[in-house]
Structure 1
Amino acid sequence: MGRRRQNVTIKHVAADAGVSLQTVSRVINNEPNVRPAMKVRVQESIDKLGYVPSIAAQRMSGSRSYLILAINDRDRTIADWQERQGSDWVGQMLLGGMLKCAEHGYRMIFELVDTHSDHVERELSAAIAALQPDGIILTPPHSENTQITRLLAERNIPFARIGSILPGPGIAMTMGDEGSARMATEYLIQLGHKRIGFVAGAREYSLSEWRVQGWQRAMSDAGLDVDGLLIQGDFSYESGEQAAASLLDMPQPPTAIIASNDQMALAVLDVAAARGIDVPNALSLISFDNSPVARFATPQLTAINQPIAATFAKAVELLITGGLDPVPQEPVIVAGELIERSSTAPPGSNDSH
């Protein structure tokens, strides 16, 4: 009577093929430097015995699990999915991370964790125990949660902190937020704008402050006033509406506005339309993120393209090669770019019509 498939282990495959456990594991994990004839031999035994590799079996080659774990904030991720407003942060994150993992014979697993929970350590510990990842990628605000970073450091798990430049363990990475905000502001200044409003993102994210700093410095370098032109938002559409109203109600309203994400930019666009303010002829608008909604807005939004996929690909690469190359001591910057579309123009462009 044949052995039941679920009872077949890596040991049975090794015995049948007449090779070591490590050789079988290397074949399963598609590692380099395995002779083609050996791969065929092991694969024949796998097929004959009906063996199904498990995560545990894939760890037999040593301490590696060939898994990279990406952790995102639960509440914000679920809210984005439910609102269906076109945010593609998670899609870009997975695309960049998974493709780079595949190049190295790794896999990426995605987990949602509530960064504000009292149980964050227990939640994360459970995921680590179940998956035994070779590396972890933290996104904001997890990347600046000292409970999380301390736990990973204590367990000697390599990790990357996206959106964090705080000193401490892990690989600090940014998408060049300050430089991107400066780039957007300088672009508007070159068009001739002098009063440029800025809608900031949620305070719990350091990148929100970096973007404000980029705008302030570009304005200062150009000798332009920023008094009253900074409005605090929280990345939500509603906060964008309130910010737009505050800016456009000013005695001398701005001729251009930079919003710290696409949702707030859409809100500015809608408030302007409701007031009969033409974009871009009477008001120029630049957004951050460049998610799909930026292209489907009317007019299409000029936007800072956040290199999410490229940043995750870089994080995966740094984690996988961490044992071979020294960990970067300075924050790793993957810079964004400005995508010019139809929502920006020189101030008073409609005067010529």
Structure 2
Amino acid sequence: MSKRSTIIDVADLAGVSIKTVSRALNDAPHVNAETRKRIKDAAAALDYHPNIAAQSLIARRSYLIGLTYERPSPSYVVELQNGALARLENSRYRLVVLPFRDVANRPTELGSLLLRAGLDGVILAPPACDQHELLSMLDRQKLPYARITPHREMDRGIVTVIDDIEAGRAIARHLLELGHRRIGIVMGDPSHAASAARMKGYRLAFVDFDAELNDELIASGDFTYDVGYASAAKLLHQSPRPTAILAQNDDMAVAAMAAVRDLGLSVPGDVSVAGFDNSEVSRTTWPQLTTVRQPVNEMAWDAVDRLIAMLDANSGEQASPPLRGDHPYELIVRASTAAPR
């Protein structure tokens, strides 16, 4: 077999130093356009592909970006990973996925896991993004991080956010505008700050309509289908039953629709149902689910992009990025909600 091309071969063919080849292929500054083109043409002619492991040894960087999350819906995970992977495509960085359970009770254990993984930086999805002890640990160890939809300590690290309060307010207002007043609510995991923020939005919507929010119609949940079903069934057995159910994510909303049907009732004829996220299941269930679009894919892409820019700034390759990215939510009205009978 012929010998694999090396960076030395590229440098010889282009007539430059190895260091210049490295800077050009990594799109670092201070390489003029003509030289950069000559180096890239030489690399293409030699079918040269940089060895990431070798780059890591030379630069004393791993080029690994971590992504950690806790027990979200499958659709949320897919959106999260797809957004991160889309940004890393054709870059020198690779993604390491590190799911972790019970973050709120084990923040230092997660911190130790992240620090042992040899990462250059990490993306913290809820609820890790709001764990003070974890953030302090990463700060002390100087591991850069980006936080997706945090609700606390917004001045720490990179953040990409939507306004969960206003998003919750918008979907609750939709049901109130249809004429619903007896609205059941299935809460999310209490360790996720978004759950409390969305609930605050619901309450604001009831104030907007001078309507009373019945606390007996608020059921606990944890963002999973099974608990969502049990909570919705409990609400539906009340007398009088709610005319609408507002679930804090789409998985629990779809579970509520199943609970409605299992009682011989129809959606939205007897009970309207609304969710949150605009995940794949909201579009494939029948009737399609009214929900709020949370741009998880875009927020993950943005978080990774800002984190990489920070890492490159720390190594002197470019200017520091803005630390905050705000993303819009969107109320999506579909067939699962209608005026009460």
What TM-score, normalized to structure 1? 0.80
Q: Alignment partner for residue 225 of structure 1, among 197, 204, 212? A: 212
Instruction: Give 1:343's aligned residue.
Output: 336
CA distance in 1, matches of 2:268, 2:339: 8
Q: Per-residue CA shift, 1:5-25, capped at 9, x if unaligned?
A: 4xx764565466542333211
Where does structure 2 lack aligned partners over 5 or more consecutive residues? 314-318
Structure 1 residues 179 and 61 mapped into 2: Cα distance closer, same or farther (>3 Å)?
farther
What TM-score, normalized to structure 2? 0.83
Is this contact kept in 2: 1:265–1:286, CA < 8 A?
Answer: yes
Structure 1 residues 225 and 108 mapped into 2: Cα distance closer, same or farther (>3 Å)?
farther
Moved more, 92-101 or 218-227: 92-101
Whichever residue aligns with residue 299 of structure 1, its letter is P
Whichever residue aligns with residue 162 of structure 1, its letter is I
Structure 1 residues 102 and 36 mapped into 2: Cα distance closer, same or farther (>3 Å)?
farther
Instruction: Give 1:178's aligned residue.
Output: 165
Is this contact kept in 1: 2:68–2:124, CA < 8 A?
Answer: yes
CA distance in 1, matches of 2:249, 2:94: 27
Q: Per-residue CA shift, 1:118-171, capped at 9, x if unaligned?
A: 6433321222x2xx42x4211012212344322321233332111312226312
Instruction: Give 2:24's aligned residue.
Output: 27
Q: After TM superposition, list the pairs within 5 Å mapping 1:114-133 onto structure 2.
A: 114=100, 116=102, 119-127=109-117, 129=118, 132-133=119-120
CA distance in 2, matches of 1:36, 1:64: 28
Is this contact kept in 1: 2:275–2:292, CA < 8 A?
Answer: yes
SS at match of 1:197: strand
Instruction: Give 1:302's aligned residue.
Output: 290
SS at match of 2:142: coil
CA distance in 1, matches of 2:175, 2:44: 62
Instruction: Give 2:125's aligned residue.
Output: 139
Measure how far apart 1:72 and its partner are: 2.7
Is this contact kept in 1: 2:149–2:161, CA < 8 A?
Answer: yes
Whichever residue aligns with residue 245 of structure 1, its letter is A
SS at match of 2:300: helix
Whichever residue aligns with residue 204 of structure 1, its letter is S
CA distance in 2, matches of 1:139, 1:249: 35
CA distance in 2, matches of 1:72, 1:244: 26
Instruction: Give 2:316's aligned residue.
Output: none
Measure how far apart 1:115 and its partner are: 5.0
Is this contact kept in 2: 1:14–1:42, CA < 8 A?
Answer: no
Whichever residue aligns with residue 345 of structure 1, its letter is A
CA distance in 2, matches of 1:171, 1:218: 30
- Give % identity: 34
SS at match of 2:275: strand
Is this contact kept in 2: 1:261–1:287, CA < 8 A?
Answer: yes
Q: Alignment partner for residue 274 of structure 1, among 247, 262, 286? A: 262
CA RMSD of aligned residues (A): 3.1
CA distance in 1, matches of 2:174, 2:109: 45
Instruction: Give 2:51's aligned residue.
Output: 54
Q: Alignment partner for residue 260 of structure 1, among 236, 248, 258? A: 248
Whichever residue aligns with residue 53 of structure 1, its letter is P
Q: Per-residue CA shift, 1:52-104, capped at 9, x if unaligned?
A: 4222444589677665432233xx26xx5xxxxxx32233223323333458x
1:315 aligns with 2:303: yes
1:155 aligns with 2:155: no
SS at match of 1:295: helix
Is this contact kept in 2: 1:25–1:61, CA < 8 A?
Answer: no
Instruction: Give 2:198's aligned residue.
Output: 211
Q: After TM superposition, list the pairs within 5 Å mapping 1:4-23 onto structure 2.
A: 5=4, 10=7, 13-14=10-11, 17-23=14-20
1:96 aligns with 2:76: no
Where does structure 1 lack aligned partners over 5 or more consecutive residues? 81-86, 349-353
Whichever residue aligns with residue 223 of structure 1, its letter is D
Is this contact kept in 2: 1:164–1:172, CA < 8 A?
Answer: yes
Is this contact kept in 1: 2:24–2:39, CA < 8 A?
Answer: no
Moved more, 107-116 or 230-239: 107-116
SS at match of 2:79: helix
Structure 1 residues 16 and 188 mapped into 2: Cα distance closer, same or farther (>3 Å)?
same
Is this contact kept in 1: 2:64–2:95, CA < 8 A?
Answer: yes
Is this contact kept in 2: 1:71–1:137, CA < 8 A?
Answer: yes
Instruction: Give 1:351's aligned residue.
Output: none
Q: After TM superposition, list the pairs within 5 Å mapping 1:242-257 onto structure 2.
A: 242-257=230-245
Q: Alignment partner for residue 177 of structure 2, among 158, 179, 190? A: 190
Structure 1 residues 42 and 312 mapped into 2: Cα distance closer, same or farther (>3 Å)?
closer
CA distance in 1, matches of 2:321, 2:28: 23
CA distance in 2, matches of 1:141, 1:183: 23
